[in-house]
Amino acid sequence: MEFKIQWFPGHMTKAKRMMETQLKLVDVVIEMLDARIPRSSSNPMLIDMLGNKPKVVALNKTDMADAEKTELWIKGLKNKSFSVVQVNCATGKGVKQLIAAAQMAARPISEKWAKKGVKNRSIRVMIVGVPNVGKSTLINRLVGRTKVVTENRPGVTRGQQWITIAKGLELLDTPGVLWPKFEDPQVGFDLAVTGAIKEEVFDRGIAVDVLLEKLQKEYPAQICETYGIELSEADTVRDIETKIAKARGCLKAGGLLDLDKVIQLVLRDFKTGRMGSFTLNEPPRSL
């Protein structure tokens, strides 16, 4: 089974161009990754776009990710040139540390200003990341109220918006950006099932088949617990879907399996975290 997707709508091309222009004006970039898919949510175009610009990586939605793997991801990603902070923007956990890390990354620049006698210049931080990863939610957390629109669907933020967070610190919210081609089908799949890609542009049936196959291997107990079913290793994906359908009454007239309903149910339960916490990308082995 192969999951294919190619999606680069017009507004994202525009967003990428805007991002390039704004980059010239910012001092630090926060790259927000989805802790469930740190590898697949990292934009491969960003390295070139950033050049020497200081960066801080934020692993968000840690409440929905496998905590052990998040720790390993943090160790594996940490690098001499940037720090990695885990956050949960839904509750605000880790947000203070993230801002401290951004301020630290800006220190060489602010020291340079100080030497030149420049005063009252704010540190400008830009947040980038795939659609729906939680960029606007972070801004609202920092401001302490709803300043920018957030919603659980990709493509909510369209324009760029500067927000003053505190004295001397400004943050730029940007629209989520994807890249033209997902060379690896796994990347498209990961982005689809975690909510970075609109459901209208991928085959939900294939996505759920691939997802159940993966969960059966890596997290079988979570499927059993969520739906109150028992699985055996010999179960095919269709067997699992049938068991879920029976447990949840996803049946059509005559007792026939209503596959569409199962697909909808599984995708929703996975995306909302109702099925549990998962990390779909294996952490890199630390050196």
Ligand X SMILES: Nc1nc2c(ncn2[C@@H]2O[C@H](COP(=O)(O)OP(=O)(O)OP(=O)(O)O)[C@@H](O)[C@H]2O)c(=O)[nH]1
Which residues bind to ligand X, rule: CB under 6 A?
60-61, 63-64, 88-90, 129, 131-137, 150-152, 154-157, 175-176, 273
Residue 195's alpha-carbon distances to 10, 41, 207, in angstroms, are 19, 11, 12
**Minimum Å distance from CB 156 to Mg ion?**
5
Judged by beta carbon distances under 5 to 8 A according to partner kind, the member of ligand X, Mg ion, none in contact with residue 152 is ligand X
**Minimum Å distance from CB 135 to Mg ion?**
5
Q: Which is nearer to ligand X, 46 or 262 (CB)?
A: 46
Judged by beta carbon distances under 5 to 8 A according to partner kind, the member of ligand X, Mg ion, none in contact with residue 240 is none
Judge residue 152's burial from the number of C-beta atoms within 10 Å of its C-beta, 0-12 exposed, 13-18 middle, 19 or more buried: exposed
Q: Which is nearer to Mg ion, 43 or 226 (CB)?
A: 43
What CA–CA distance (Å, rounded) separates 263 from 211? 10
Residue 46: φ, ψ to 5°: -65, -40
Q: Which residues bind Mg ion (CB under 5 A)?
A: 135-136, 156-157
**Minimum Å distance from CB 199 to ligand X?**
14
Q: Which is nearer to ligand X, 103 or 157 (CB)?
A: 157
Structure tokens at 183: 């060379």
Residues 6+ apart with CB under 8 A from 71: none
**Minimum Å distance from CB 271 to ligand X?**
10
Identity of the amino acid at 233: E
Residue 133: φ, ψ to 5°: -80, -20
**Residue with the CB atom nearest ligand X in the bound state:** 176
**Residue with the CB atom nearest Mg ion in the bound state:** 157
